[in-house]
A and B are shown apart, each in its own frame.
Chain A
Amino acid sequence: MKANQPGFIGGWRNIWLLSRYWLKGRLSRAALLWLLFGESFAIVFIAFGTQTVFAFANRFATNGPAGQFSTFALSLILAFVLVGLLQGGFSGSGLPVTSADVDYVFTSPVRPREIFGAKVLINSLTTVLFSFPPLLFLYITLARNYHTSLWTALPAGLATLLFLITALMLSADVTLSLSSNLGSTMKVIRNFLIVGVAIVGFVPVILLIPSVPRFLTPISQLLPSGLAAGLSVGLVTGTPWSLGLTLEAVALFAWFAASLLLGVRMSRNHFYEVLTIYGADNPVQSSGATKSLLRTSGMSVWSVVRSKESVIMRRSKERRGLLVSSLFLSAFMVIYSLAGIFQSSPTSFLFILFLVGSFGSGSASGWLEKERLWIIRTSAIDLRRYVREVYLARVTPLLMFLTPVTVAVGIPLIIGQLGQAGSYAVMLALPAALEVAAVMMGGGMYFAARYGQSTTDDILSSQAQQLTDVKRFLYQTIFNLLIVSPIMGLVLAGAEASTYIPVSPAALAAALFVAAGAYTYFVLRYLLNVSGDQIAKREDL
């Protein structure tokens, strides 16, 4: 009994008990496979991404030592993580729980603070397990680059790890702050604070544009992302320990303590109503009359199918998420363009293509979770066509968001480099971004159709589903990279080919553009047809 006396955040025994069982639940064979695969993937990604980091560093190298400016690159990446987690916090996923947690943990005589404490502990532990090896790899790579002791990678990694745990707690705090128990004044303050943090979080991104004044720099350094970047890069680049670094370390710990205290304070009452519950059917909470958006009278069956998909995306907030993510990608493209990265580094453009494509693929994967296959399969409807129409409904908003940005970014670049070989590469690269997004979205549809779990009455066990997810993610990534590699290859070839092939560069660019377009069309058609066939074959519903 003594061991369970309420302490700082409640009874430690309950926290330990919950953490132990959650950990046991998480460390399944599939989860360990995920961990290994995820870490390997992250290390490969880091090896690839560090090229981009150094490209940023070199971009600012004229104003001082390159190492100093890597802080920008890292704080930029960490700021994205921070803003992404805060955004997740707003959608209720800052403290993810399962239906079983709600049914058994929240109905047990366990204090909400203890649940919060256990969640924080388990999230922190998972973060350490998942993130530390790739972080260590990153800082060892940087230490080698700056010729400092490889041991500096250890404290540098720990500083970034502390940031990640703090950011996860902030995300949890945001989710807790959505609770209806919060007073109206607190809600207003909360909203201002969150918007403020989100804006400040983007400061490092804006700083990449050469004309933006440098006095904005200290603002970004006040956030945990800036502090962790300053500390980690400072350590790994061999900056002597100073008062500045001490203050940064203290401030980072202060963020950590404040976010923990805030969470403890807000988890006094039950909070499960604000959480995203995994495994549930995502019920829409709205009650009462809803304005009808799906018109069927006088419409063809296929326009009704497209319309149904759009309405579902809109009402399930998926379209809003799409808009936010597209703005994020658009901002990346604009900043890359303004910072001159496109012109100087074709590999950095491949990095963007990868981001755009992964996003499109991930977006498509979500389709099947909202689909009701038993209705489709018991109707006399052409499933290939059905999948094509769903794809159209999903890809259209993505292209509508990205196309104007691509045009806005591309035209000045092309005009600025008119006549040079590089301009043809840009002419190919910009539509290729859209083609890659479209093709990888088709790949996402195929993998969702083949491996995705539909809402069925014969739900796979969670472990079987995790294994399926691992396979799906693994195959999907490899498959998507393979199917878009011809488009990426054309982009890289665009700049070089005119040197070796004795034709007009403009004619060559036009030919490559048509080839990429034709390839996109035929690959998409094939992918969507086989997706329809996969739906027709599925028996797990």
Chain B
Amino acid sequence: MGEISVESLTKNYDSLVALNNVSFNVKSGEIVGLIGPNGAGKSTLMKISVGILRPTEGTVKVSGHDIVQDPEAAKRLIGYVPENPSLYTALTVREFLGFVGKIRDVNDMTLEARISESLKTFSLEDKADALLGSLSKGMKQKVALIAATLHGPDVLILDEPLTALDPKTQAFVHGWIRSQGQSGKTVLLSTHNLEIVQDYATRIIIIDRGNVIAVGRLDELRALAQTKSDARLDEVFLKLTEDA
């Protein structure tokens, strides 16, 4: 099963320090919520973790494979959903998933089975032959989630998977994320939806202005923030980021 190990990670954009010496671990089978204000460095961290950005310093390892030194091995273990997944609008849902499965080295039989099964799970069977450009945002998001899991990754890196989704689709994605955790996948989830993090995350990482300011279970963060023992995560978050 997959583990993520981030060590002394720094990312600079010219003079801007987007990430400053960030370190943490995500153990196999954990759902870890990554939260922080806008511009905190969450997406940068996610993009470095999947090999889109190069770190200025430090390393990210997925089950021991360095994403910079050994990208192919690491990428085989990762499923990624970006914040705004842009898809090939001129392909149909089935064509797109077939293409993604192929470039992620899934064999034909498994690919066919996984596409059919996923379309059923995500209630997209009747849209299998629809062009992606004709789908609603929620449907596109579902297609992106399916694409992230076609190759059976051990690690899921989800960047704001609930953005702009209607309540029904949000509820569906909540359930899907929980089911991924229950099936033993490691999930790193970046979101502004603190409710889902409070409900499903085994641990929480709070990041602000490129620095990790807190890591731990909710009760540990409550203690750190010196809030009440039943304080909600949004309260804890505001307290910790206010103090930072």
A residues in contact (CB < 8 Å) with B: 281-294, 296-299, 301, 304-305, 308, 311-312, 315-316, 370, 372, 374-381, 455-457, 539, 541
Contact = CB atoms under 8 A, between A and B. Distances in A.
B131 A308 contact: no
Given A286-B134, A294-B95, A375 B147 contact: yes
Contact of B108 (A283, A296, A375, A377): A296
Contacts of A380: 71-73, 75-76, 104-105
A470 B149 CA distance: 40
B86 interface: yes
Majority secondary structure of chain A interface residues (helix, strand, loop or mixed): loop
B152 interface: no
Given A281-B89, A374-B86, 12 more contacts: A281-B86, A285-B133, A290-B131, A297-B111, A312-B90, A315-B131, A370-B90, A375-B147, A379-B75, A379-B104, A380-B73, A380-B105
Contacts of A286: 131, 133-134
Interface residues of B, number: 44
B146 interface: no
A375 B100 contact: yes
Interface in B92-142: 92, 94-95, 98-105, 108, 111-112, 129-134
B7 interface: no
B237 interface: no
User: Which has the most chain A C-beta neighbours within 10 Å: B80, B95, B105, B147?
Assistant: B95
Nearest to A300: B102
Contacts of A381: 103
Contacts of B76: 380
Contacts, number: 124
Nearest to A538: B52
Nearest to A539: B53
A304 B97 CA distance: 12
A457 B92 contact: no
13 contacts: A283-B133, A288-B134, A290-B92, A293-B95, A294-B92, A296-B102, A301-B102, A304-B102, A304-B103, A308-B88, A375-B147, A378-B51, A456-B86
A298 B50 CA distance: 29
Contacts of B100: 375, 379
A378 B50 contact: yes
A299 B98 CA distance: 11
B130 A294 contact: no
B216 interface: no
A454 to B, nearest CB: 8
Contacts of A455: 86
B174 interface: no
Contacts of A375: 100, 103, 147
A305 B112 CA distance: 18
A59 B179 CA distance: 77
A457 B159 CA distance: 11
Contacts of B132: 284
A294 B89 CA distance: 14
Contacts of A294: 91-92, 95, 98-99
B130 A290 contact: yes
B87 interface: yes
Nearest to A303: B102
Contacts of A290: 92, 129-131
B178 interface: no
Contact of A296 (B75, B83, B98): B98
A289 B131 CA distance: 8
A376 B98 CA distance: 14
Contacts of B83: 457
A372 B87 contact: yes
Contacts of A297: 98, 108, 111-112
A379 B147 CA distance: 11
Contact of B129 (A292, A312, A316): A292
Nearest to B89: A284
B58 interface: no
B103 A305 contact: yes
Contacts of B54: 539
B84 interface: yes
Contacts of A283: 89, 133-134
B185 to A, nearest CB: 16
B91 A308 contact: yes
A289 B89 contact: no
B78 interface: yes
A287 B130 contact: yes
A66 to B, nearest CB: 50
Given A377-B51, A378-B52, A378-B78, A284 B129 contact: no
B82 A282 contact: no
A374 B79 CA distance: 12
Contacts of A316: 90
Interface string B35-61: 000000001000000111110000000
Contact of A378 (B75, B92, B108, B131): B75
